[in-house]
Structure 1
Amino acid sequence: MNDYRTVIGINLGTTHSSFAYSFMSPSNICIYKEWRDGIGYKFPTVLYYDDEYKNVTIGRNGHDRNPVELFKLLLGKMENEPPLQYGKAIIDYLHEFGKIVKRTIQHVDFDQALIVLTVPDNNTMLTRSFFTMREYAFKAGLLKDPLSQNFRLTTESKAIALYCMKYLREHNLSVGEKFIVVDCGDNTVYLSTMLLWNNEKLCLISERIEIDCGGDLADQEFLKFIERKIGSSRMNLISENKLQEIKNIFGSIKLSFTGIQSEFVTINFDSGFALRQLFYRNDNNNRWHFKLEFEDVKAIIDPIVERIVQLVDSQLRLCDNCFAISLVGDFGRSKYLQLRIEEKFSTRVLVSRPPDSCTAILRGAVLQGLNYANSDQAYIIKLEEENKKAQEFNNLLHEKYDGLQEKYDDLHEKYDGLQEKYDDLHEKYDDLQEKYDDLQEKYDNLQEIEIKYVNQIRINQQYKNDIILQDQSEKQTQNNYRLLYDDLQKNYDDLTKKYNEEINHWSK
């Protein structure tokens, strides 16, 4: 984890590249515009090598040698590792480009800078691209560590959508609402339908649509228009750099064109016009002139604008609950395109063109980097708080552990004493058990004797009972004899008395 101080967004474009930076402030994003041979904030994605491929320069810079360009297109087709020459081209370009970045913010320690690089949306191997591009950035000198955490990738559409969302949030875009991003670039127009989730998270809810009708198509049509006016032979005399200057001149024309005839001023390509000087090749007999009329410009631009309007209309029909259309990109600055979009869709949705929208990719990349950095910082703070709580809890556990250890030692000491007593008691128990076994044996013997004598006692008791019964019978008999004796005695006495009475009676 780093304590980030700067976020740098780099857009490695197909034809032009650019960069922006912020000192951790989303409201203060700086776009670099001091290119020596660039156009505004853009710098040509072009390399020039010497014959030994050792010394390298970037940008057009007036070279007439064959340039190395369009190497960025490989990033969208990374099923296999890039060939060496493409990897070398990317590394060399980033190395020279990085020198300009470092000179611009030279007071910044790059260990505290988070670099966010944009990649094409058709790159299906984003994770693999991350490791490849991080290696390239390291070899180019942008990173000090090949495993640096100071590097992020983001897709071009994600960066643009994030920037548009931030702007639309200021115009009451709510969670659950959708918006369509119309990115009108130099080569291609992209349409993305986004849904806003909680915590300002974005979700792509339909497949990104792509058509080849960007601003460069108008430039090519303008060159064809010139060729029709001056002829192929004269056209072939124009150098590559001069052709680029011609396209630059038409660039301002196509962007300022409104489609309203009263606002258009016919341009005369004749004496006194700077463009004419481009066509002279020391041939005094090579004289020509032509006019660029309203209908000429409209014929060049109108088919391109019409395709874009139709594409937006078809996408809008598929998108219910759409809050807004956001028009961005270099060709999105076309006043004619803006008027057509506004005229066609303003009654259905909010039509917005965020400020500085031609730099939406750069600004979105920086915003995404700020989100990464802030989430990292928040994560660090959270970790520190959790670590503090964990340390306090750990200290409390140590205190409790020490107390428990002391109690354990006391209990262990008591246990040893009880164990000793237990052993003594067990020994006594064994002695008592032995005595018990002896007593049990004696008891069993006594039981046998008791059983034997109890039976004898029972027999004797029965005999005694018989004797008692016999004695009782004899006593009863004796009583009967006594009663009989008593009766006989009484009878005798009665008879004796009667006899005496009779005697006495007769004696008288």
Structure 2
Amino acid sequence: MSKMSKKLDIRVIVGLDFGTTYSGFTLCHVDDDLANIKTNSEWPEELGRLKTNTVLQYDNDFTEVELWGKPALCKKPNRKGKDTETKPVELFKLHLGNCLEKYKPKLPVNFKKAITNYLGEIGKLIKETIPKYWEGIDFMEHVLLVVSIPAEFSESDKAIMRECTFNAGLIGEKNSEKLQFTTEPEAAAVYCMHSSLREYKLTEPGSKFIYFIKYAYY
């Protein structure tokens, strides 16, 4: 990470967990200790939770996003009647990976559009949150975005995620090094190494450990 920081002038690392049903993010300055990682807990109309719903509410033409996160599930009924209401769009991440076709939800918009729109909305919040902790951070110049993905994601799936992230305005170039992917098992192993293993003094060279991943749609 230090080599990349010097080359690209990375100052803040954003860890984005884009999940099937819930999503969240953490922030860390490269000069800070790992104990100072900031996990976001302030979401639209919701405080104190580490994640929010991976859901979108579009306008009647499915052109613009009206609500996202938990508020997208709690939209008040339109007085004109339910016939004019659009339903929340969710589970669009299932269109990536090795999910069987019969389990992929039918969406009123292209799944790439939904992913792009959601990344765009959570990206706006990330950009608003960074200045609360550190001044002088140019998002496109000083931020490294690390997105966790399922281990079974193919190169094609990664390419789609990269395309959507670019279209969402979170990176300046589609092939930017400022977007990196890590598999969920890798992320879990790193967390284990920097938390539980240190707690039980198992970080000495030669120490061995086994970790188990329980797969579920989150």
TM-score range, shorter chain: 0.7 to 0.9
Instruction: Give unpaired runs (5+ residues) of structure 2.
Output: 1-6, 78-85, 101-106
TM-superposed deviation, 1:129: 2.9
- Post-superposition Cα deviations, 1:93-147, rounded to whole Å, max 9, x if no partner, equal 1111111110111442121110001112232x1x333322121111001111122
Q: Which residue of 2 aligns with 1:114?
A: 144
The equivalences for 1:71-110 within 5 A come to 71-77=92-98, 85-106=110-131, 107=135, 108-110=137-139
Give the Cα–Cα distance (whole angstroms) in 2 for the partners of residues 97 and 132 of structure 1.
Answer: 18
SS of 1:19's partner is strand
TM-superposed deviation, 1:176: 4.6
Contact 2:171–2:178 under 8 Å retained in 1: yes
TM-superposed deviation, 1:17: 0.7
2:71 paired with 1:41:
no
2:197 paired with 1:169:
yes
SS of 2:156's partner is helix
- The letter of the residue matching 1:3 is D
- Post-superposition Cα deviations, 1:32-51, rounded to whole Å, max 9, x if no partner, equal 11113346111110001112
Give the Cα–Cα distance (whole angstroms) in 1 for the partners of residues 56 and 95 of structure 2.
Answer: 15
Give the Cα–Cα distance (whole angstroms) in 2 for the partners of residues 119 and 51 of structure 1.
Answer: 31
Contact 2:143–2:178 under 8 Å retained in 1: yes
The equivalences for 1:32-431 within 5 A come to 32-38=40-46, 40-56=49-65, 57-61=67-71, 62-63=74-75, 64=77, 65-77=86-98, 85-106=110-131, 107=135, 108-110=137-139, 111-123=141-153, 125=154, 127-170=155-198, 171-173=200-202, 174=204, 175-181=206-212, 183=213, 190=214, 210=215
- The letter of the residue matching 2:193 is M
Give the Cα–Cα distance (whole angstroms) in 1 for the partners of residues 99 and 176 of structure 2.
Answer: 22
Give the Cα–Cα distance (whole angstroms) in 2 for the partners of residues 41 and 176 of structure 1.
Answer: 32
28-37 vs 92-101, greater mean Cα deviation = 28-37
Give the Cα–Cα distance (whole angstroms) in 1 for the partners of residues 195 and 189 of structure 2.
Answer: 10
Q: Which residue of 1 aligns with 2:18?
A: 12
SS of 2:70's partner is coil
Contact 2:44–2:70 under 8 Å retained in 1: no
TM-superposed deviation, 1:148: 1.0
Q: Which residue of 1 aligns with 2:28?
A: 22
- The letter of the residue matching 1:13 is G
Give the Cα–Cα distance (whole angstroms) in 2 for the partners of residues 151 and 99 of structure 1.
Answer: 16
Relative contact order: is structure 1 or structure 2 higher (C-alpha 8 Å, sep ≥ 6)?
A: 2
Instruction: Sort the Cα spacing of 1:10 and 1:22 in 2 relative to 1 into closer, same or farther, 3 A.
Output: same
TM-superposed deviation, 1:15: 1.0
- The letter of the residue matching 1:172 is K
Which structure has more strand as a fraction of its residues? 2
- The letter of the residue matching 1:59 is G
Which structure has more helix as a fraction of its residues? 1
Contact 1:117–1:152 under 8 Å retained in 2: yes
Contact 1:31–1:41 under 8 Å retained in 2: yes
- The letter of the residue matching 1:148 is S
Q: Which residue of 1 aligns with 2:3?
A: none
Instruction: Give unpaired runs (5+ residues) of structure 1.
Output: 184-189, 191-209, 217-508
TM-superposed deviation, 1:78: 8.3
Contact 1:37–1:59 under 8 Å retained in 2: no
Contact 1:48–1:67 under 8 Å retained in 2: yes
Give the Cα–Cα distance (whole angstroms) in 2 for the partners of residues 99 and 73 of structure 1.
Answer: 23
Contact 1:75–1:119 under 8 Å retained in 2: no
Contact 1:12–1:18 under 8 Å retained in 2: yes
- The letter of the residue matching 2:49 is G
Contact 1:116–1:153 under 8 Å retained in 2: yes
Contact 2:112–2:160 under 8 Å retained in 1: no
- The letter of the residue matching 2:125 is I
TM-score of the pair, normalised by structure 1: 0.34
TM-superposed deviation, 1:52: 1.4
Give the Cα–Cα distance (whole angstroms) in 1 for the partners of residues 99 and 181 of structure 2.
Answer: 15
- The letter of the residue matching 1:68 is V
Instruction: Sort the Cα spacing of 1:78 and 1:140 in 2 relative to 1 into closer, same or farther, 3 A.
Output: farther
TM-superposed deviation, 1:14: 1.2
Bigger-Rg structure (1/2): 1
